[in-house]
């Protein structure tokens, strides 16, 4: 079984709808991240969480919110989706105790299309 | 603040040829450096990482990268390309677990010609 899972894997929605993307991990890592990937732009950080009570904005947090329900779960919400939020979304985890390099491990991604 | 630049959004090589993907970084302190690979319709997978233990780092699938402080570079190489190497490759820089995040480059798509 995959260590980092994301649901759904694909989603098509309409402008103005509320959408939640979910991420779960079995790696036991304390840190979790949400990124979006757009062609030619690489990955950009939306939000990150160092533990259940520590949530921080990334470089492109506007229009998004997150919830860290447990150490293993980190969800991303789009309160009112807009077309320019069409992208590939990745969840990642890392272990702050693993030697200090903060290596991140990624889920398979969620392809979101906002019409 | 740290940053990373990948030169060339698309690289095409023949099967069996040398693969060279370029990455330059900017960091005010000694960084940690990573190469990730993304195969079609998949998430990112760690290829290799530099953590200051050795300047030449060997990764999976025959890839390696050399940290050159004087050139602020961390180029990825493989002596002989295989068709299965076709993917997108991302260079990334981090200041370590005490910092907040990893910064990714914009990616280089590697195509392999038969």
**Is the bond into A80 cis (omega within 30 degrees of 0)?**
no
Q: What is the pLDDT of residue B94?
A: 83
**For B69-82, what is each residue's pLDDT tens digit?**
999 999 999 999 99
CB contact under 8 A, B101 and A58: yes
The predicted-structure confidence for A62-71, as pLDDT tens digits, reads as follows 999 999 999 9
Instruction: From residue A63, give the alpha-carbon distance in Å to each of A76, B81, B111.
Output: 11, 42, 35
CA distance to partner chain B, nearest, from residue A85 (Å): 18
Distance CA A91, CA A33 (A): 6
Among A81, A20, A17, A31, smallest CA distance to A7 is for A20
Mean pLDDT of A12-16: 96
A43 shares contact with chain B (CB less than 8 Å) = yes
Q: Nearest C-alpha of chain B: how many angstroms from A11?
A: 15
Query: A48 touching B, CB under 8 A?
Result: yes
Mean pLDDT confidence for A52-76: 94
Backbone Cα Rg of chain A: 13
B69 SS3 class: helix
């Amino acid at each position: 079984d995959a260590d980092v899972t994301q649901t759904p894997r694909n989603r098509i929605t309409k402008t103005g709808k509320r959408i939640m993307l979910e991420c779960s991990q079995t790696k036991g890592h304390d840190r979790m991240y949400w990124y979006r990937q757009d062609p030619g732009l690489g990955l950009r950080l939306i939000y990150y969480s160092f533990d259940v009570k520590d949530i921080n904005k990334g470089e492109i947090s506007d229009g998004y919110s997150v919830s860290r329900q447990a150490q293993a779960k980190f969800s991303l919400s789009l309160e009112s989706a807009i077309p320019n939020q069409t992208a590939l979304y990745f969840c990642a985890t890392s272990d702050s105790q693993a030697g200090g390099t903060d290596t991140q491990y990624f889920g398979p991604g969620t392809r979101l299309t906002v019409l | 603040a740290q940053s990373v630049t990948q030169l060339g959004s698309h690289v095409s090589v023949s099967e069996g040829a040398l693969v060279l993907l370029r990455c330059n970084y900017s960091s005010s302190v000694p960084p940690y450096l990573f190469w990730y690979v993304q195969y079609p319709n998949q998430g990112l997978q760690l290829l290799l990482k530099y953590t200051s233990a050795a300047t030449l780092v060997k990764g999976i699938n025959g890839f390696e990268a050399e940290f050159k402080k004087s050139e602020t570079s961390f180029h990825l190489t493989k002596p002989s390309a295989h068709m299965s190497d076709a993917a997108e490759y991302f260079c990334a820089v981090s200041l370590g677990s005490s910092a907040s995040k990893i910064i990714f480059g914009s990616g280089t798509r590697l195509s392999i010609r038969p």
